[in-house]
Chains A and B, each alone.
Chain A
């Protein structure tokens, strides 16, 4: 299949949309499809072989902040030529409501157009002056995708219409290998038992009760006393002192709070713990943190909320404990720490199970959307002037 992907934001500026497009394009190319991405880029910017530049993005005030967007005759001309020469089977426009390449591509093309909506916001950005311009471009999109329930709600409420939900993938490979953090022994993947020692890990907002840190801290009160060498590694935004204050003074020196960590340190943290605990008490639809920990091969102990039960295949890819019960958490964690063979087994199962959420699985779903809209096979053609 020949796929043309339109990226609205400058390629080399870090951002969720750009990362999404990069991962998707590379997964599609891995499947053997021909992919071309058009994106705003500075002339001396280095682009991957599948990307072409539509010219520089200009910082302009848009919706109360300064956004780097590509528009104007030059960009419009380049998009038109790219569509004409690409002879794509499907055109895939990202964030088509932004005044950038996406909307230019919608105007310049006829045929199967897929649009992916990333952003979610509370207040409508569509005002009566822009509505007709936006409408006539958006109504050319034949298949709409939203990357989250929030993005889908935004689309339904502010622009009308509906979309299918295809969430972002997890780049499982990025998490697979890393050195443990300095001063941490790393996973006891070997055969030494962690009886009396070992490390439990937690990652998430510390001051958000739904993430369940309070359950883990209560369990640590018993576990920490039973096992004098046991340590607890906590990462995530929130007030470190508040979290430490909930621990009995004699256990405090064994609780390490990292606070907000860089992406790299986060991956290293996953590789530093013997058991990764996800004590969430609800409100999770999927649990990206869990998927990351699984990609890193951390043995997992999670509460048995529905989302986790599903991701962990009912306990096959990670141990489960009754939600909110700190005593059960303590017992289960103790059993895992004493059983290196079980930990090793869970680690392997987790790595296998998380493949369902890998980018290749997301790309497969996106391909199904392409195949649905491209039926008939007329492909994407340049639109007549004034359409």
Chain B
């Protein structure tokens, strides 16, 4: 009943529509991965800032001897003020400083015996654990995004827009054993 060319046109319109749906779905997925990387990065930055803040708080609390306070305060300050190139080294150094401080014999018991030492330890433990969690989640998101960016469709069509290829964040984040 329809001329042949209308059937042909309808067919190709349908094909184009389906391709469009598929490409849009892939673009949505990629966009969601980029959002996940950004959210995870914000969470990681927040966790690192928090850990440095708790370390400074502990250093300034008069719960520690002055030498320990100095070690901790220096490492926390370095981590806070490091530029992008040195950030990973400075944060690793803070992890090591925290472990060295906490590994002193009877550290936890000594602090718990003093007034609000228990609360500070609790906060320190939470802050250090969250750095490790946040970094794992960030790197996980980065690797998913990088794999997606390598796919042929994403490279041929500019689906990634101008979003930069995210980089991993590699530090020593072993938490102190509290």
Taking Cβ atoms with an 8 Å cutoff, the residues of A that contact B are 110, 136, 139-140, 142-144, 160-164, 365, 368-369, 371-373, 375-376, 386-387
Contact = CB atoms under 8 A, between A and B. Distances in A.
B47 A162 contact: no
A213 B123 CA distance: 42
Contacts of A369: 133
Contacts of B33: 139
Contacts of A371: 130
16 contacts: A110-B32, A136-B29, A140-B36, A142-B137, A143-B133, A162-B136, A163-B136, A164-B132, A164-B136, A368-B126, A368-B129, A369-B133, A373-B43, A373-B137, A376-B39, A376-B42
SS of B interface (majority): helix
B42 A375 contact: yes
B146 to A, nearest CB: 11
B39 A162 contact: no
B147 interface: yes
B137 A386 contact: no
B144 A368 contact: no
Nearest to A140: B32
Contact of B143 (A110, A161, A372): A161
A386 B147 CA distance: 22
A139 B136 contact: no
Nearest to A111: B39
A363 to B, nearest CB: 13
Interface string B3-45: 0000000000000000000000100110011001001101100
A365 B33 CA distance: 26
Given A365-B129, A368-B126, A160 B29 contact: no
B129 A144 contact: no
**Interface size class for chain B?**
20 to 34
B32 A139 contact: yes
A379 to B, nearest CB: 13
Given A160-B147, A387-B28, A142 B141 contact: yes
Contact of B137 (A139, A143, A160, A376): A143
B133 A161 contact: no
Interface centre among B36, B137, B144 (most CB of A within 10 A): B137
Contacts of A161: 140, 143-144
Contacts of A372: 43, 47, 130, 133-134, 137
A368 B133 contact: yes
A144 B126 contact: no
A365 B132 CA distance: 12
A142 B40 contact: yes
Nearest to B129: A368
B147 to A, nearest CB: 7
Contact of A139 (B25, B29, B40, B126): B29
B36 A142 contact: yes
B70 interface: no
A373 B143 CA distance: 17
B139 interface: yes
B60 interface: no
Interface string B30-73: 00110010011011001100000000000000000000000000
A178 to B, nearest CB: 32
B109 to A, nearest CB: 11
Nearest to B29: A136
B84 to A, nearest CB: 21
A144 B25 CA distance: 24
A221 B33 CA distance: 64
Nearest to B47: A372
Contact of A164 (B40, B43, B133): B133
B167 to A, nearest CB: 16
Interface in B146-160: 147-148
Given A372-B130, A387-B32, 13 more contacts: A136-B29, A139-B29, A139-B32, A140-B36, A142-B36, A142-B39, A142-B141, A143-B133, A161-B143, A162-B136, A162-B143, A369-B133, A375-B42
A153 to B, nearest CB: 15
B140 A144 contact: yes
A260 B29 CA distance: 50
Contacts of A387: 28, 32
A91 to B, nearest CB: 14
Contacts of B144: 139, 160-161
Contacts of B126: 368
A46 B59 CA distance: 53
A34 B46 CA distance: 25
A162 B169 CA distance: 14
Contact of B25 (A160, A164, A368, A386): A386
A142 B126 CA distance: 19
Nearest to B30: A139
A162 B42 contact: no
A303 to B, nearest CB: 21
- The 10 A-B pairs with the shortest beta carbon distances in the complex, nearest first, are A375-B43, A372-B133, A143-B137, A161-B140, A162-B140, A372-B134, A164-B136, A372-B130, A139-B144, A368-B129
Contacts of A376: 39, 42-43
A372 B28 CA distance: 24
